[in-house]
Chain A
Amino acid sequence: MRPRAMSRAILAVPLLAVAAITLLPLWAMIATALQDTTSVRLSVGWEDVDLGNVIELFTRFGFGPALLTSIVVTLLACLMNIVVCSLAAYGFSIHRFRGSETLFWAYLATMMIPTQVTIIPLLLIMRELHLTGTYFSLAVPAVGAFGVFLIRQFSASLPYEVFEAARLDGAGPLQTFRHIYLPLVRPALGSLTIFTFISVWNDFLWPLVSLSDNTLQTVTLAAAMLPGRFTTDFGLVMAGAAVSMGVPVLAYLALQKQFLRGIAVTGSQR
């Protein structure tokens, strides 16, 4: 064996072991979810498969409406983020006004503040506005300065002549936005959609806090609230985990390239 092939073979073993250990809990989740069991299983044969856990989620624990809520809220958050942030980024990069740079700095400063710190006042404000328990209130905290920052930084690399040419061709500023700016920043919009999707779908603290006094729930919240913290109904708990992560995992498997590029971009965006 040539030295390169040798070192490859030697290094492949620990790497594959790490990959296997990483996937083990997810595999155990699926194997356990599909069986009527009180202990974690690592193997599942066709004859053991029992969809009782999954059926129970939908019949007893409201996973149907919860899934629907998660889908609506996530779509709403992505849509709001794209519209609101691309408009603002267009304003910040093309239609500047006195103080717009300072304002942009203020936007960036808000990115430093984690939502966990402001969760209590946010809850009190939403209550005061009678917005708690609405799709809007679940989606809106995802809209922030990050999207504006992402799109504006992306559009900073665009040639300004394009916008000049559009003006000379008689395009109005809103036409320019729709037909030139938006198509050009599409990759940034893609990354923003993926980040928003994952963070809203997986959010736990805000739904937990703001949905405490009514029946609406997201699927991530519903899965976390399944009984089993002090019991050993492992099959049911693992089924809840599997169903709640189904949509993001399928989205990832379908759009792997876009997911990985979106994340790599944050790494090279500095």
Chain B
Amino acid sequence: MAFATSRSLRRAPENGARCTARARRRNGHPLLGLGLIAPSFVILVLVAVAPIAYAVYLSFTNYSILGGGRFTGVDNYERIAGDPSFWAALRNTLVFTLVTVPTQTALALLIAAVLARVFRPAFRRIVQSALFLPAIVAAVTAGTIWRVMLATDGGTVNELLTALGLPDVDWLGQTTTAGLSVCIVIVWKNVGYFLVIYQAAVLSVPEEQYEAASLDGAGGWRSFRHITLPALRPVTFLVLVLGTIWSFQTFDLVYTLTGGGPGTATSTLVYLVYTTGLEQLDMGYASAIAFVLLLVILCFAVIQRRIVSGGER
């Protein structure tokens, strides 16, 4: 959404030109404008501005619901630097992002391109509807369903492995496979959503471009590389940014799928904020972790924005 913002704002002057400043002065009531915006302003202060300011303050205290609240300077941040559970959560969050974002983007793009270029609308709709369904399922419920699917005693995946004559796997009980399981569920849940975005974009590429390419003897793969891929570039960036932001917010599905375990193998930053602040009630320290998470997200947003504006030039 961060990315969505910059372009639409650039479109704004176009609109400004149509309705001249004079027309606006005649029609607009600045005082009324203030009144119209007031309700949303009050709510935004309540749910976003005040909490963020409060979070910054809390992160410099040892506040807990049980007491405390003494100003402790940068103690919390120093504690973060030496806290192995923080580094584990950060590492897991980054690994999940680096595994799931490219995978789900590539899958969604590939399926969208094949569906749009090769198949009739009816078939397209069937596949798209099936793949989109998980996007409607709550992440926490997705975690529950997959915990059952991956269970060692009676879980579907292991029963299928047995049927194929393969050994059982303790999916959620081992470090590597637990992480892999989290990634699988994230991809399962997101592919359909991004497929819908890609599908609309692929279908809006002018047909003539493909016709010209096939007259030049280009096959499916070449026209994908030279026409589809470049045309979808802006959408791809949107998909990457959204995927990254969502991945950094991973909490719900980990809560029900693995509970962050085994050990800290699948703990994420938001999961750590939750356990630290709301189970151990160490709210000052949790706020500091949350603030570091925000900084990580902002860094990624800036880097991606850079790449985007570089790519468009």
Query: How many inter-chain residue pairs (CB < 8 Å) link A and B?
Result: 326
Say yes or no: is A258 at the interface (Cβ < 8 Å to chain B): no
Say yes or no: is B82 at the interface (Cβ < 8 Å to chain A): no
A residues 158-214 with Cβ under 8 Å of B? 159-160, 163-164, 167, 173, 198, 201-205, 209, 212
B141 contacts A112, C-beta separation under 8 Å: no
Say yes or no: is A1 at the interface (Cβ < 8 Å to chain B): no
B192 contacts A205, C-beta separation under 8 Å: no
Which of A156, A202, A256, A264 interacts with B138 by CB under 8 Å?
A: A202
Q: Cβ of A270: which chain B residues have Cβ within 8 Å of it?
A: 3-4, 7-8, 234, 238
Number of interface residues of B (CB under 8 A): 115
Q: Is the interface of B mostly helix, strand, loop or mixed?
A: helix
Whole-angstrom distance from the CB of A149 to the nearest CB of chain B?
A: 7
Q: Contacts A114-B248, A114-B297, A256-B129: A267 and B154 contacting too (C-beta < 8 A)?
A: no
Instruction: List 7 A-B residue pairs with CB atoms under 8 Å apart, sorted by A's residue number.
Output: A22-B191, A84-B40, A94-B28, A97-B31, A120-B286, A149-B8, A156-B12
In angstroms, Cα B208 to Cα A128, docked, is 62
Q: Cβ of A216: which chain B residues have Cβ within 8 Å of it?
A: none
Which of B51, B126, B139, B204 interacts with A202 by CB under 8 Å?
A: B139
A112 contacts B298, C-beta separation under 8 Å: yes
Say yes or no: is A44 at the interface (Cβ < 8 Å to chain B): no
B200 contacts A264, C-beta separation under 8 Å: yes
Say yes or no: is A215 at the interface (Cβ < 8 Å to chain B): no
Q: Is the interface of A mostly helix, strand, loop or mixed?
A: helix
Residue among A167, A203, A245 with the highest chain B CB neighbour number at 10 A? A245
Q: A123-157 interface mask toward B, CB cutoff 8 Å, 1 = contact, 0 = none?
A: 11100000000000000110111101100010011
Say yes or no: is A19 at the interface (Cβ < 8 Å to chain B): yes
B residues 122-142 with Cβ under 8 Å of A? 123, 126-134, 136-141
Say yes or no: is A42 at the interface (Cβ < 8 Å to chain B): yes
Q: Cβ of B144: which chain A residues have Cβ within 8 Å of it?
A: 223-224, 237, 240-241
Q: Contacts A120-B278, A252-B136, A264-B199: A113 and B52 contacting too (C-beta < 8 A)?
A: yes
Say yes or no: is A234 at the interface (Cβ < 8 Å to chain B): yes
A25 contacts B294, C-beta separation under 8 Å: no
Whole-angstrom distance from the CB of B2 to the nearest CB of chain A?
A: 6
Q: A7-B220, A87-B40, A144-B43 are in contact. List 11 more A-B contacts (CB 8 A).
A: A22-B131, A87-B36, A94-B27, A107-B44, A113-B294, A114-B248, A121-B54, A124-B283, A202-B139, A237-B144, A263-B197
